[in-house]
Amino acid sequence: MAMSSKERMARLRAKQRADRASHELNKQKERREQNQRRKETGQFKSVENMTPREKLQVKKRWRQNYREYRERRHLQTF
């Protein structure tokens, strides 16, 4: 009996997960392709295409995220 597309993909992904290096490369490739598709469809803008006000808001969000990241990283050391 032939496998369905879903079953074939599940088997392929299980094989990829078994090899960690290959799995990481595939994840990076998929992430890059997904971001490129989102950029092309206009779901998000690159910083160079933003207005000055939007840039300020994005930078503020980046600073806040980085601050929270540093706090989490600091807490993990203890």
Pair 28, 5 in one domain: yes
Q: State whether 63 and 74 are in the same domain.
A: yes
Instruction: Examine the domain organization and report whether 10 and 23 are in the same domain.
Output: yes
Beta-carbon contacts of 39 under 8 Å, excluding residues fewer than 6 positions away, are 46
Domain that holds residue 25: 1-44
Cα–Cα distance for residue pair 27/8, rounded to 1 Å: 18
24 and 7, same structural domain? Answer: yes
Are 39 and 53 in the same domain?
Answer: no
The predicted-structure confidence for 2-50, as pLDDT tens digits, reads as follows 889 999 999 988 888 888 888 888 889 999 999 999 988 988 888 888 9
Q: Dig out the tokens for 7 from the structure.
A: 């079953």
Q: What is the CA radius of gyration of the chain?
A: 19
SS3 of 45, please? coil
Task: Tally the domains of the chain.
Answer: 2
Q: What is the pTM of this model?
A: 0.52
**DSSP category for residue 43:** S
Q: Which amino acid is at 52?
A: P
